[in-house]
Amino acid sequence: MQLYNTLSAKEREALIEQAGKDRLTISFYKYAHIGNPGLLRNHLFIHWDELDVLGRIYVAHEGVNAQLSVPAENFNRFKAHLDSISFLEGVRLNIAIEQDNKSFLKLKVKVRRKIVADGLDDGSFDVTDKGIHVDAEQFNQLLEDPDAIVVDMRNHYESEIGHFRTAITPDVDTFRDSLDLIEAQLRDHKEDKKLVMYCTGGIRCEKASAYYRHKGFRQVYQLEGGIIEYTRQVREKQLENKFLGKNFVFDQRRSERISDDVIASCHQCGKPCDTHTNCANEGCHLLFIQCPECAENMNHCCSEACMEVVALPYEEQKKLRKGRVKSNLIFKKGRSEVLKFKKSPENTAVLE
């Protein structure tokens, strides 16, 4: 029985182009107690492979986190299968604001220790004792509330290209870093301030809200469905959009435009730009912001050193990469010293 991909990304991309059919990019998550994540993983792969579902799905004892691409014509069958699984019945699906048939090119269902890497000892608190969920209209009101502190729970490279007006955007590399920073700087306001959080689709805030309640915060709020659902509600109900710029997403699209504001700069020349790319040198693959002019001048690379590597025959490039282990240092995501106009650490304090 096939429980793995048999096609490469390029082969799958060609098939999608040949099919010429619309696909929907969808994300969802659900915290739940799963006894056998491996069994559920196999069940999901078998059924979703039959429906030509592509994407990245994590299954753990604590639940499921999924980012998917589903053929539009198979959506109802996909939804029916979700509803056939007791804890996923009626789960909220975040449908992408901007669709791209090539947002995912493989189906990867993996068993993980956590559905979100957070470094927390979940046994010390109840992950279901979460904060108050608010919709787009309520969130807009909280943004104007002088007793509310609105915090972006995403990483620095996400908030750099887009965030809510007046929101605090901690300059952190990981979700776990933000948890410690926020608790440390708000410890004197656990009772008199409203802690309001948001993230891409809600999954990080769901865990964080339970964590902060455990830490003694009395008034904890979470934007339900994250930026994705907020944008849908704003457009559907014609509400004021208080989000500036783009929403970073973890698929081939890299972002969705929410407003016309460009709040970031090209990391190489400093011109207004909010387009993320990966360095063309596969041995580097650094994620950074690059404008079209720099992309042309730098041959889609982050540095002159990488340009020299890319200019070599491909077999020579492979030899240079051989035996080198990629680490998280390679994916500094805009912090590399080769980037002259990278974002400088700022706005790290929640309160003065």
Stretch 248-256: mean pLDDT, rounded? 86
Q: Cβ neighbours of residue 174 under 8 Å, at least 6 residues apart? A: 117, 119, 155
Stretch 64-70: mean pLDDT, rounded? 94
**Mean pLDDT of all residues in the chain?**
88
Question: Look-up: residue for tokens 């926020």?
Answer: 182
pLDDT at 191 > cutoff 50: yes
Stretch 150-178: mean pLDDT, rounded? 92
Stretch 314-326: mean pLDDT, rounded? 78
Which residue, among 122, 128, 115, has the nearest Cα to 59 in the 3D structure?
115
Residue 333: its pLDDT value, please? 67
d(CA 94, CA 97): 9
Stretch 69-75: mean pLDDT, rounded? 95
pLDDT at 344 > cutoff 50: yes
Answer for the pair 149, 193: CB distance below 8 angstroms, yes or no.
yes
Stretch 253-268: mean pLDDT, rounded? 94
- Domain 21-111 sits in CATH at 3.30.70.100
- Domain 122-232 sits in CATH at 3.40.250.10
pLDDT band (50, 70, 90) for residue 328: low
pLDDT at 240 > cutoff 60: yes
Stretch 325-331: mean pLDDT, rounded? 53
Stretch 253-279: mean pLDDT, rounded? 94
Residue spans of the domains in the chain: they are 21-111, 122-232, 264-352
Angle between helices 203-214 and 175-186 (to 10 degrees): 40
Tell me whether strands 276-278 and 255-257 are parallel, antiparallel or unpaired: unpaired
Query: Residue 208 CB: number of other CB atoms within 10 A?
Result: 27
Q: Cβ neighbours of residue 327 under 8 Å, at least 6 residues apart? A: none
d(CA 50, CA 163): 38
Residue 347: its pLDDT value, please? 43
Residue 250: its pLDDT value, please? 80
Above pLDDT 90, what percent of the chain? Answer: 63
Catalytic machinery residues: 199
pLDDT band (50, 70, 90) for residue 325: low
d(CA 139, CA 197): 10
Which residue, among 200, 215, 37, has the nearest Cα to 126 in the 3D structure?
215
d(CA 315, CA 179): 44
pLDDT at 22 > cutoff 60: yes
Answer for the pair 290, 340: CB distance below 8 angstroms, yes or no.
no
pLDDT at 331 > cutoff 60: no
Query: Residue 46 CB: number of other CB atoms within 10 A?
Result: 13
Which of the given ranges, 91-100, 132-141, 171-180, 326-335, has the highest pLDDT on average? Answer: 132-141
pTM: 0.81
Answer for the pair 226, 205: CB distance below 8 angstroms, yes or no.
yes
Question: Look-up: residue for tokens 């007006």?
Answer: 165
